[in-house]
Amino acid sequence: MLVIGLTGGIATGKSTVSSLLRAHNLPIVDADILARKVVEPGTPALAQIVRAFGQDVLLSDGSLDRAKLGRIVFADEAKRKQLNAIVHPAVRRAMFWSILRCWWRGEKVCILDVPLLIEGGLWKWVAKVVVVYCSSDIQLRRLMKRDKSSREDASARLNAQIPITEKVQYADVVIDNSGTPQELQRQVDQFVLRLMDEAGWSWRLSWLIPPLGVFSAVMTLGWRALRRSQKVKSRRR
């Protein structure tokens, strides 16, 4: 099974591409959705958050008060790191089990929709990195329109993230969302066709013989991670 990492920058159109891929009946593992699920009432992660930040971060129904917790962690880097140390491992475990369920169902391809794929280092553990790109000017205009924000506020949000041009350096595939919706659709359609060709028939053999699949995945990921690291280093010189 090919595990594809999908990422982008704020307002580049990653969510749109994810929806287009879902329309092709490809399974999507959405990190944002999992991040909400792992802190639902009764989960170990929510219990850890309450121990670390107190009962005040809960709403009256026992669910997480995201707004209040957000104000706490964004004002204090140490607390933000403490929260990430709780949530990120829980999300990664949930992603792992979601991928395993895709493999168990016999899927050829699984798409990991992860905003922080590069920042979190998960790019090393997928078969391909797909970055949804648009120019910084278009990105700024779209963000201002979407959030009805000023140029200054939108620029501050963009500057707080890794530039999309830097994320492109990690990409195996770049989907350029600078044009029309029709142009984006054509790019996604072509990408899906290439994925299906690449998956071929060998995925079924790996599915029928699990040890072969595990060995193949470890060897493939190790080799690709090494090649990508070398490629990124060479581009930074």
Q: What is the pLDDT of residues 96-146, one digit of tens each?
A: 999 989 888 888 899 999 999 998 888 988 989 999 999 999 999 999 999
For residue 234, is pLDDT > 80? no
Same domain, 43 and 92: yes
Same domain, 192 and 127: yes
pLDDT given at position 226: 64
pLDDT band at 208 (very low <50, low <70, confident <90, very high): low
The answer as to whether 32 is a domain residue is no
As given in the structure block, the two tokens for residue 142 are: 């779209």
Same domain, 118 and 189: yes
Least confident of 14-18, 120-124, 169-173, 217-221: 217-221
pLDDT given at position 153: 86
For residue 91, the enclosing domain spans 37-105
* 62: region left, alpha or beta (phi > 0 left; psi from -120 to 50 alpha): left
CB atoms within 10 A of CB 167: 23
Same domain, 141 and 173: yes
Coil, helix or strand at residue 64: strand
> Distance between CA 79 and CA 72 in Å, rounded?
7
pLDDT given at position 219: 55
Tell the burial category of 43 from Cβ atoms under 10 Å away from its Cβ (0-12, 13-18, 19+).
Answer: middle
pLDDT band at 49 (very low <50, low <70, confident <90, very high): very high
pLDDT given at position 205: 58
pLDDT given at position 230: 61
- Is the pLDDT higher at 227 or at 166? 166
Same domain, 113 and 15: yes
Cross-sheet strand order for the sheet of 2-8: 28-30, 109-113, 2-8, 128-133, 173-176
Please state the rounded mean pLDDT for residues 82-108: 91
